[in-house]
């Protein structure tokens, strides 16, 4: 039997598109097996960045006259709020439009996403920050941790999870058998909320496309969502973290484990046992024993 050839230009372009995506994937994966058309890959990435740009156009931006460096330093605050309501759900928002990199092949790199973020003025958090806290760690990590937003120490250093909660997170990561720089760590919002308050819906909305693009760039096997903001934002689910935690979920085809935020664990150490059970499920998925590296 004669094999069927694509008959319409529509079919032909679909076949070509498939091939392009495959070639791009090979390039992103190190290009070990195929030579990719670099111009084509650049075009596809540019398409992803154009989409990101369209989604994050300064629709939520306040009138900001001065760059962040010119703003007065905010009053010192604790890294984590004491009265953070664990049960209050993130306000439900409609799903955002198509996100960069959600279409296979449009996979911007972390550097490109960071460049696109620029000296971000897309929401009011820009006025109080010292530094944008984009993310840190292995850009090809199999495991990503997503927190809520930077605290004072993170804001000062421009690095996520380096304060007291961060030290606990680092211990949790190491107890799982990873080094901190094996994994990738980022937050729902990239700028420190003043007075250690929760991020507001418009701030989450402005930052969320960048988080989703980061996850698409890293393409981990597992995401650990730390606390209600990460879990509820990524899953678009207003269920309380106390109910969500410990149950595998899926985010864009990636396994996601919701668990307690380390700041909450500092306030409620008795809950560490539950968080450790959640992390052990992640370790089991990766076939890791406690303290075992590699
Ligand atoms: N809490 C967070 O959610 N993120 C940080 O980076 C630090 C503290």
What SS3 class is residue 129?
A: coil
Find the range with the poorest average confidence among 27-31, 102-106, 186-190, 194-198: 27-31
- Residue 199 CB–ligand 1 contact under 6 Å: no
pLDDT at 212 over 70: yes
Average pLDDT over the chain, rounded to an integer: 78
81: confidence class by pLDDT, cuts 50, 70, 90: very low
- Residue 257 CB–ligand 1 contact under 6 Å: no
Q: Averaged over 39-46, what is the pLDDT?
A: 64
Nearest atom within ligand 1 for CA of residue 229: 3
What SS3 class is residue 109?
A: coil
pLDDT at 261 over 50: yes
Burial group, residue 132, by CB count within 10 angstroms (0-12, 13-18, 19+): buried
Query: Above pLDDT 70, what percent of the chain?
Result: 65
Q: How far apart are CA 231 and CA 148, in angstroms?
A: 9
Buried b (16+ CB within 10 A) or exposed e, 201-225: ebbbbbbbbbbbbbbbbbbbebbbb
pLDDT for res 249: 98
Distance 293 CA to ligand 1 centre (A): 25
Most informative mutation of 77, 148, 198 for ligand 1 (most atoms within 8 A of CB): 148
44: confidence class by pLDDT, cuts 50, 70, 90: low
pLDDT one-digit tens code per residue, 201-211: 999 999 999 99
Residue with tokens 């703003």: 71
Nearest atom within ligand 1 for CA of residue 153: 7
Distance 189 CA to ligand 1 centre (A): 9
Nearest atom within ligand 1 for CA of residue 262: 1
- Residue 213 CB–ligand 1 contact under 6 Å: no
pLDDT at 14 over 90: no
Give 3-state DSSP helix, strand, coil % of the chain, rounded to 5. 45, 10, 45
Find the range with the poorest average confidence among 80-89, 178-187, 264-273: 80-89
Most informative mutation of 147, 162, 199, 241 for ligand 1 (most atoms within 8 A of CB): 147
- Residue 263 CB–ligand 1 contact under 6 Å: yes
Beta partners for residue 258, in sequence order = 225
Distance 226 CA to ligand 1 centre (A): 9
Of the two residues 3 and 132, the one the predictor is more confident about is 132
pLDDT at 183 over 70: yes
pLDDT for res 58: 54
pLDDT at 2 over 60: no
pLDDT at 144 over 70: yes
Find the range with the poorest average confidence among 61-75, 241-255, 258-272: 61-75
- Residue 198 CB–ligand 1 contact under 6 Å: no
Nearest atom within ligand 1 for CA of residue 185: 6
Distance 126 CA to ligand 1 centre (A): 17
pLDDT one-digit tens code per residue, 19-36: 343 333 233 333 333 334
Beta partners for residue 224, in sequence order = 145, 257
Residues 6+ apart with CB under 8 A from 28: 107
Of the two residues 163 and 52, the one the predictor is more confident about is 163
Distance 111 CA to ligand 1 centre (A): 21
289: confidence class by pLDDT, cuts 50, 70, 90: confident
- Residue 231 CB–ligand 1 contact under 6 Å: no
pLDDT at 290 over 90: no
Of the two residues 139 and 12, the one the predictor is more confident about is 139
């Amino acid at each position: 039997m004669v094999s069927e050839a694509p008959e319409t230009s529509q079919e032909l372009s679909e076949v070509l598109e498939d091939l392009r995506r495959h070639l791009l994937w090979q390039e992103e994966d190190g290009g070990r097996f195929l030579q990719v058309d670099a111009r084509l890959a650049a075009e596809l990435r540019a398409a992803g960045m154009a989409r990101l740009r369209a989604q994050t156009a300064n629709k939520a931006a306040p009138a900001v006259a001065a760059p962040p460096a010119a703003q007065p330093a905010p009053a010192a605050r604790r890294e984590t709020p004491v009265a953070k309501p664990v049960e209050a759900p993130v306000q439900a928002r409609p799903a955002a439009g198509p996100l960069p990199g959600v279409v296979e092949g449009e996979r911007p790199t972390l550097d490109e996403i960071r460049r696109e973020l620029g000296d971000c003025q897309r929401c009011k958090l820009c006025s109080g920050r010292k530094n944008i806290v984009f993310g840190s760690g292995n850009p090809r990590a199999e495991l990503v941790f997503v927190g809520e937003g930077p605290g004072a120490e993170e804001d000062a250093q421009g690095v996520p999870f380096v304060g007291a909660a961060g030290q606990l997170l680092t211990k949790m990561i190491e107890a799982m058998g990873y080094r901190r720089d094996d994994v990738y760590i980022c937050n729902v919002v990239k700028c420190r909320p003043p007075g250690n308050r929760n991020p507001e819906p418009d701030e989450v909305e402005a930052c969320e496309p960048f988080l989703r693009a980061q996850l698409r760039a890293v393409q981990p096997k597992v995401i650990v969502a730390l606390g209600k903001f990460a879990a509820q934002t990524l899953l678009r689910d207003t269920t309380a973290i106390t109910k969500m935690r410990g149950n595998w979920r899926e985010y864009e085809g990636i396994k996601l484990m919701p668990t307690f935020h380390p700041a909450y664990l500092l306030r409620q150490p008795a809950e560490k046992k539950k968080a450790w059970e959640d992390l052990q499920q992640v370790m089991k998925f990766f076939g890791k024993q406690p303290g075992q590296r590699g």
